[in-house]
Amino acid sequence: MPLSDARPPETAVSGLYRAFWRWHFYAGLAVMPVLMLMALTGGLYLFKPEIEGALNRRLLHVPPAATSTAPQAWADAALNAAPGKLVQLVVPAQPTDSAKLVVESPSGSRQAVYVNPHDASVLGTIADGGFMDVVKRLHSLDIAGPIFNLLIEVVAGWAIVMVATGVVLWWPRGQTGGVVSVRGAPAKRVFWRDLHAVTGIFAGAIIVFLAATGMPWSAVWGKEVRRMTTEAGWGRPTAPGGPGLHQAHNPPAVPWALQEADIHVGHDMGDMAEVHALDLDGAVASADVAGLKRPYALSLPSAPGKPWPASYMPDKVQDTRTIYLDPTDGRVLADIGYRDFGPAAKTIEWGIAVHQGQQYGLANKLVMLAGCIAIWLLGVSGLVMWWKRRPKGRLAAPPRALTRGAYIGLAAVVVPLAIIYPLVGVSLIVVLGMDGLIRLASRSVPRKA
């Protein structure tokens, strides 16, 4: 046997350690770059109100005045500044707030037009969402197309695998240093090993929370969970009405649990010729009469005869409220709040609010920000550790465990995640195949003694 292949005899403990170390390495190699991008953009998005306030101050605020023009006048001014189709109105809450109107152009792009509600003058126009929309699309990987959005589930699932395997690697086995303290100086590998381990153990729970609560936005898991929880009665409330027209609005400005809700209208298309259609002024008046708190987002229906949804979505999820207005007379067809959600929808909505740093004020933002910073510390320290120990010209993955029992312990951690998150399971099969190919290639290349 060549000297480079010699190993000390493997025990059950060392075999388990090698198995977890190898898969911790592969998990980090596969997803850490994307996870670091998501941590960077997520950290920025935690402070969305503050960043938007600084970038768009001249668009968001107006001098107070005693009088106000009608919402239709705001719409006319917005459409004159940005021709197209009005799809959403954010009704201002304070006399010093502007009205935001989202207009969709014939090409499909959307512009946010800010209007002074007191005199219907246009303050300015920007791409809908502005800079923070770019940050959000980078965070969800949607900016690269729908296919890349699938990576959300893969990255989040493997982030959980990294934390779980990392805890096993961190677990004290007689050592006194590197458990809760960092040894050595930055020039030594032990410093980066301890920094990696200590950061991971203190921030692991936050990282798992961020990964799990980010799953509702995934293209596969999120959609399926919303469907299953709704069918089981654990999600959104049952939609009112009988056979009729399905609710559709564009863009959606409702809680996650309601984004695929079917709200029916008690009129068929034959009735529509005999009744007056609801207009923008009437819809705003109806929402105000219903007691919906401002600022709320009123979405215009995508076709005649479909309801007008209006949503008040504050920081605290328990105060969320969405109403659906009849398109003929403005009466409230459905009035849905957090209290009406099933247990699964309540849990997911709460998780989303905490994930975004909204539920518990500044402390919530800082804790989530700490998780984002920890991900960068883990990524950088892991890279430095690998760089300091790498052999030239080789990937230097940790050695495989020789005992079959070691993989039983590893499977107990990885397989349940692969079942819960289907795309993680698919990626696991891909990684296993690549690992096998790497081993075959390494056997075919002769090594120097």
Angle between helices 343-355 and 361-389 (to 10 degrees): 70
Between CA 434 and CA 10, with CA 431 as vertex, the angle to 5 degrees is: 85
Q: Could you give the count of Cα atoms lying within 13 Å of 220 in the half-sphere of its Cβ?
A: 16
For 113, the 3-state DSSP assignment is strand
Domain that holds residue 307: 64-117+236-341
Say which residue, 436 or 45, is predicted with more confidence: 45
Final residue belonging to a domain, choices 310, 341, 372: 341
Predicted local distance difference test score (pLDDT) of residue 251 = 42
Helix (H) or strand (E) holding 238: none
Confirm whether 366 is domain-assigned: yes
Residue 242: the pLDDT is 35
Residue with tokens 């200590």: 198
**pLDDT confidence of residue 223:** 81
Residues 41 and 150 in one domain: yes
Is residue 133 pLDDT above 50, yes or no? yes
Alpha helix (H) ranges present in 141-266?
146-149, 151-170, 189-214, 221-231
pLDDT of amino acid 13: 64
Question: Residue 247: is its pLDDT beyond 50?
Answer: no
Per mean pLDDT, which of 37-41, 158-162, 257-261 is the most reliable?
A: 37-41
187, part of any domain: no
Tell me if 180 is assigned to some domain: no
Residues 86-112: what's their mean pLDDT?
A: 96
Of 408 and 343, more confident: 343
Whether residue 316 is found in the same domain as residue 242: yes
Averaged over 126-145, what is the pLDDT?
91
Last residue of a domain, one of 313, 341, 369: 341
In-domain check, residue 87: yes
Predicted local confidence at residue 226, as pLDDT: 81
Residues 167 and 290 grouped into a single domain: no
Total domains in the fold of the chain: 2
**Is residue 109 one of the residues assigned to a domain?**
yes
Same domain, 245 and 384: no
> Residue for token digits 């987002």?
297
pLDDT at 86: 97
Residue 256 has what pLDDT? 58
On whether both 334 and 384 belong to a single domain, the answer is no
pLDDT at 440: 75
Neighbouring residues of 334: CB distance < 8 A, sequence distance ≥ 6: 237, 239, 240, 263, 322, 323, 324
User: Is the pLDDT reported for residue 449 higher than 50?
Assistant: no
Q: With a cut of 50, say whether residue 264 has pLDDT above it.
A: no
Nearest to 209 by CA among 309, 359, 47: 359
Higher pLDDT among residues 239 and 114, named by residue: 114
How far, in Å, CA of 151 to CA of 35, rounded? Answer: 10
**pLDDT of the residue at 266:** 41
Q: Identify the weakest region by mean pLDDT among 31-35, 144-148, 194-198, 202-206.
A: 144-148
pLDDT band at 258 (very low <50, low <70, confident <90, very high): low
Do 167 and 21 share a structural domain? Answer: yes
Kindly state whether residue 139 falls inside one of the protein's structural domains. no
Does residue 245 or residue 155 have the better pLDDT?
155
39 shares its domain with 158: yes
Give the pTM: 0.85
Mean pLDDT of the chain: 85
Nearest CA among 333, 327, 332, 324 for reference residue 272: 327
Does residue 358 surpass a pLDDT of 70?
yes
- Residue 290 phi/psi, 5° resolution? -70, -5
Instruction: Please tell me whether residues 293 and 330 are part of one structural domain.
Output: yes
327 with 247, same domain: the answer is yes
Report yes or no: 385 and 398 within 8 Å, Cβ to Cβ. Answer: no
Q: How many percent of the chain have pLDDT more than 90?
A: 54
Residues 253 and 326 in one domain: yes
Question: pLDDT tens across 183-227, in order?
Answer: 989 999 899 999 999 999 999 999 999 999 998 877 788 888 888
Whether 159 maps to a domain, the answer reads yes
Mean predicted confidence (pLDDT) in 61-85 = 96
Mark whether 36 and 109 lie in a shared domain.
no
The answer to whether position 163 is within a domain reads yes
| 37 and 111 housed in the same domain | no
Lowest mean pLDDT among 3-7, 231-235, 329-333: 3-7
Per-residue pLDDT reduced to its tens digit, 285-340:
999 999 999 999 999 998 888 899 999 999 999 999 999 999 999 999 999 999 99
Average pLDDT value for residue range 366-389: 94
Lowest mean pLDDT among 10-24, 80-94, 409-423: 10-24
